[in-house]
Structure formats: structure tokens, C-alpha cells
Amino acid sequence: MLDDLEANAAGARLVNYVEIDADGWRFQLRVAAVCVWRDHVLLQGALDGDFWVLPGGRVLPLEQTADGLVRTMRWELDQEVTVERLLWVMEYVTPMRDRPVHELGFYYAVALPESSRFFDLTHDHAGVERGHDLLLRWFPVDALPDVQLFPDFLRTAVQQVPDSPRHVVRVDGRPRSVE
């Protein structure tokens, strides 16, 4: 069944992601790639602002999050990746475009194949998301505290990748304890 969903979505690229868009609020499920190479991390310029995010995207109904990340990287970057392991699960509640958004994000360590065109640290790379050009760039991991990277916990978290998955909660950009 999922293969049919992906095949139909891949052909038309008109898909219904796991998200709820209601009066006054929004919920979205997101997956993201943490690709670290030679003490650099690959970031994507945001489509809707002057900031950076990890490459990734939305999940289809019935799709496992790791599979959604592989599909997204294939669709948007024309790049196969190997999902290595889950690093963080993040609940992020913040206002966006004048309404509250609750994002549940799964952040995975990924590896690129040896032949990847993305291994060139000297210039920017391109991708496409929903018909919009994407800008991808490698940033030194130790420079991330000075980069407009969102969610902001990544500015320091990528410098110390956890050995086991961590649950991160941010409400309006502030850390929240997890009981």
C-alpha cells in the first residue's frame, strides 16, 4: 500500500502529508538529515525566511520516518542517503506566520555515498522543493552558534551528537524539561 502511495505521489508530487492545518493552529511531522563530514554539517536555506535548517521534509501517511527521510532526500536533492540512526525527537511549539505551530521532528544521522556531488565543501549545492530552488551549504560545526539555524538547539547539539536518541522539547524557543 505504501509503495502505491509513494508511486502516485512521486509521479504527481501532489501528496497529503501527515499534518493538520486547522483554524488558528498547525501540526506537522518532519524528518531531517544530520549529515556531518570533515567537521562540517550540510544545511539548507529556508524557503520562507532568512535562516537555515537541516535538509528534510514531511512524512506521508503510513510511511516510517526513516523511509520518509530517504524519499525526501531523493525527491528534493536527487541524492540517495543511508539512514544511520535516530539522534533526536523534538517537539517544537512556536508561533509561525501569526499562529501556533506544533512540529514533531525526527532527526537522523545520515551518510552520503562516496560518489556524492555534495562532498565538495568549496561551493553551494542546489536542490528543488515543491518547484522552488533550494540552496545547500556546508557549515563548520564549530561555527554553528553564530548561524541562524532553526530549531536553535541544533546550534550546539550538532557539536555533541548523542550516543542514544534524545527527546528535546522547545516551547516558543525555550527549553522545556521532559519528565
Rounded mean pLDDT, 102-120: 96
Residue with cell 535538509: 55
Report pTM: 0.87
Q: Phi and psi (nearest 5°) for 73?
A: -65, -35
* Rounded (5°) CA angle 59-60-62: 110
Return the pLDDT at 175.
67
Burial of 14 (0-12, 13-18, 19+ CB in 10 A): exposed
| Mean pLDDT calculated for residue range 166-179 | 78
The set of residues, in sequence order, having a beta carbon less than 8 Å from that of 78 and lying 6+ positions away, is 127
Residue 9, SS3 per DSSP: helix
Q: In the prediction, which pLDDT does 177 show?
A: 60
The pLDDT of residue 173 is 64
Across the range 70-74, mean pLDDT stands at 97
* pLDDT for res 15: 61
Sorted by where each starts, the structural domains of the chain and their CATH numbers stand as 15-114+123-159 (3.90.79.10)
38-56: pLDDT as tens digits = 999 999 997 777 899 999 9
Decide: helix, strand or coil at residue 174.
strand
